[in-house]
Amino acid sequence: MPKFAANLSMMFTELPFLERFEAAATAGFNAVEYLFPYDFEKSLIADKLKAHSLEQALFNAHAGDWDGGERGLATLEGRRQDFRDSITQALDYARALECPKIHIMAGISDVTGKTEALYVENVRYAADLAAALDIEVLVEPINARDMPGYFLGSVAQAIDLLERIDRPNARLQFDYYHAQITEGDVTMLMRDSIDSIGHIQIASVPERNEPDTGELNYPYVLAELVAAGYRGWVGCEYRPAGETTAGLGWLAAYRNDAK
Ligand SMILES: O=C(O)C(=O)[C@@H](O)CO
Ligand SMILES: [Mg+2]
């Protein structure tokens, strides 16, 4: 059965960030992920993980001026040093939080030969630093409705670029929500890319709510994922339709499964 990580950027937002760890553990999660930890001392977050017996599954490298519309640095001309600083910072946090995976956002950029070459160079740089710490760097295709102009749009594009990056610890973050919106046929897509997948995320489509609503049949989708050999965390990157805990009925079904 799949094992689920609570995404604390979207779930339990009724609470201040540092209180979401306890709420996730109380709700039955054994791991968490979120966008960014950098507003908080890493020791403070490490204490929360330890106090609530949680694993840190994933977080993102700093992605530039988020409020100003930036969505990653890896394809941005003239930001090489900012990108490198973001990787140093992310790996510093990853080591403190014992986090095995970092998501590197590509940025809002046209796909040109030049941006592709910069992206390959930057992700390779990050992968080489991360490899020394036994950490994976992940790249995620994101749908253009939610993030217009985002450089990485499809799984095929991501896999092509990962082949060019050519580092064993550079892998695909496969988010079923984005994949369904952009490409559909998600189970075939997952099977075809399973050897590249380093992390999974889920949400309903099109609302990005709990996975027991919407057009994707997650009991089937996740059974196929497990059958294909995936054993990592499945990040619950969804916005609860109401109060987070009230919407967790879907999780109980997987717990019953395991008995
Ligand atoms: O939006 C998503 O999907 C993510 O996984 C984030 O890390 C980037 O927005
Ligand atoms: Mg995602």
Please choose from 7, 58, 60 the residue to mutate so as to test ligand 1's pocket, defined by most ligand atoms within 8 A of CB: 60
Atom nearest to 175 CA in ligand 1: 3
Q: CA nearest 93: which of 106, 82, 102?
A: 102
Ligand nearest to the CA of 59: 1
The alpha carbon of 87 and the centre of ligand 2 are apart by a number of angstroms equal to 19
In the chain the domains, ranked by start, together with CATH numbers, are 3-258 (3.20.20.150)
pTM of model > 0.90: yes
Ligand 1 centroid vs 127 CA: distance in angstroms?
19
CA pair distance 182, 160, nearest whole angstrom: 17
Describe the chain by its helix, strand, coil percentages, rounded to 5: 40, 15, 40
One-character DSSP codes across 156-209? HHHHHHHHHH--TTEEEEEEHHHHHHHT--HHHHHHHHGGGEEEEEE--TTT--
The DSSP 8-state label assigned to residue 211 in this structure reads T
Residue 21's nearest CA partner among 60, 59, 50, 61 is 50
User: Ligand 1: residues within 6 Å at CB?
Assistant: 35, 60, 103, 105, 140, 142, 175, 178, 201, 237
Instruction: Print pLDDT tens along the chain (259 aa).
Output: 899 999 999 999 999 999 999 999 999 999 999 999 999 999 999 999 999 999 999 999 999 999 999 999 999 999 999 999 999 999 999 999 999 999 999 999 999 999 999 999 999 999 999 999 999 999 999 999 999 999 999 999 999 999 999 999 999 999 999 999 999 999 999 999 999 999 999 999 999 999 999 999 999 999 999 999 999 999 999 999 999 999 999 998 887 554 3
Q: CA–CA separation, 224 vs 227, rounded Å? A: 5
Q: Summarize pLDDT for 143-161 with one digit per residue, the tens.
A: 999 999 999 999 999 999 9
Residue range 188-198, pLDDT digits in tens: 999 999 999 99
